[in-house]
Structure 1
Amino acid sequence: MAVYVYAVTLRDHPCRLDGLTGVGSDAPTVRSVQTQELRAVVSDVDEEVRPKRRDLAAHQAVLDRLLEDGTPLPLQFGYTATDDDAVRRVLEEDSAMYLDALAAVQGCVEYNVKAGREEELLLREILDDSPRARRLNEEIRAGATDPRLSLELGQLVAAEVDARRTNTSTEVIRALAPMAREHVLHTPTGEDFLNLSLLVPRDGESAFLDAHAELARDIDAGVRTRLAGPLPPYSFVP
């Protein structure tokens, strides 16, 4: 039977796992495998692990419980080992790496900030602010057939969109990053232009949340920010 691994913690982490059930259709008991300095939080699994809703929720519930008592080093969904001895061997062989990684995140949680902008409103702003873009748009709407007009308008709008997204991203990072121990930029998806993760000390959470609230209130019209957290520090695992 294989072993599913949720996280690595320091040996002195309380690991209050009572009442938790793990990944897998048989809802296995969650437990820990210990070495002299570290623990791995695990459960038995006898099937191929797939990201089903119930299993994703079980994985996250274990990490949320661990986060209540200290910062774990979370593993991504789906990590398995052959047995307890294999887990223990990895902890012992790579103990220096795990201890350094845990030291880097101790006392912190992750917050994620995504930002997007209403494209229709942004295009209207560009036309209002740029006489050249407005003039090109009016000529095209009036029936001008020169393809160079559409090309120039498209290039002008694209450059302006990029510039405004960059400026807003810089504004968000400048406001929030100083309150974090580290920050990481991820590739945004969908309509978002910013996907920012921040490693925030627990004793600075209140100030961080206040700063985000002020930013969301004062940021340009049409820009929306979405805040998720506190989370285990997934983005800061080496």
Structure 2
Amino acid sequence: MALYVYSITAGEHPRHLDGLSGVGSHPASLQTVTAGPLCAVVSEVSEEIRPKRRDLLAHQEVQERLMSEGPVLPLQFGYIAPDETTVRQVLEENEDGYLSALRRVEGCAEYHVRAFQEDEEPLLLQILKDSAEAGDLHRRIRGGDPDPQLPLALGELVAREVQARQEVLAGGLSEALLPFAREHVTRPPTGNDFLNLSLLVADERKDAFLTARDNLAREIDGGTGLRFAGPLPPYSFVQASAP
């Protein structure tokens, strides 16, 4: 039967999974497939698994339980292997890489940091105040100047200023947080975000990191918001192949 694959651990990991159930409309019990020094946590499935809330939560609960007891290589939601033989083969073929990755993330958790423009008005007002050119264009438009190019020129100027200031702020936020991380991954922002940062933070640096996070959240202004998530399984820092 096909197997849904949750994660990979070292063989000595406790893997206390009592009380957890697998994904799917008829959740099967969790089990392990062992190959040498590695284990994969799996459950049997007989259907296509879609990202429904119940299944996403079940997937995440397995990762969090495992992470609480030792290092884990979490697979992204949706990995299905045709059988145990395939899972075991992948573990054997990637043994060195998986063991190395487990050592890298041992004693660490992932944290996400996103910065976004919560309210544009304070930033726009500050730009009009700081930029003589933007202020002049704004006054001419407000004064009734009929030149049709003025709104376009002002819009382009403000857009450049917004981007420049957000880039500076994103750099400052990253600079303040990176010293607490063993590794980091920066991804392209989406939506109204201008910073999308993942940090791998060791347990002994957790308290200092959280203090720095709280300080930043208090200090940041200008209509900017921060979203923090974690501790999380280290999805961004492992590349566990799908069996």
Length-normalised TM-score, structure 1: 0.96
Match of 2:210 in 1: 209
Match of 1:139 in 2: 140
Matches within 5 A, 1:103-182: 103-117=103-117, 118-182=119-183
Preserved contact between residue 3 and residue 43 of structure 2 (Cα < 8 Å): yes
Preserved contact between residue 71 and residue 109 of structure 1 (Cα < 8 Å): no
Moved over 4 A (4+): none
Map Cα deviations across residues 15-50 of structure 1 (whole Å, 9 max, x no partner).
111111011111111111112211101000000011
Name the SS of the counterpart of 1:183 in structure 2: strand
Match of 2:35 in 1: 35
Identity over aligned pairs, percent:
55
For structure 1, which segment, 123-132 or 25-34, has the greater mean C-alpha deviation from structure 2 after superposition? 123-132
Which amino acid in the other structure matches residue 134 of structure 1? Answer: G
**Number of corresponding residues:** 238
Name the SS of the counterpart of 2:109 in structure 1: strand
Matches within 5 A, 1:79-98: 79-98=79-98
Map Cα deviations across residues 48-83 of structure 1 (whole Å, 9 max, x no partner).
011011100100010010111112111000001011
Deviation at 1:147, TM superposition (A): 2.7
**Stretches of structure 2 lacking an aligned partner (at least 5 in a row):** none
Preserved contact between residue 110 and residue 230 of structure 1 (Cα < 8 Å): yes
Deviation at 1:144, TM superposition (A): 1.6
Which amino acid in the other structure matches residue 169 of structure 2? Answer: T
Deviation at 1:143, TM superposition (A): 2.0
Which amino acid in the other structure matches residue 68 of structure 2? Answer: E
The alignment status of 1:221 with 2:222, answered yes or no, reads yes
Deviation at 1:204, TM superposition (A): 0.8
Query: What RMSD over aligned residues (CA atoms) do the two structures have, in Å?
Result: 1.1
Match of 1:19 in 2: 19
Length-normalised TM-score, structure 2: 0.95
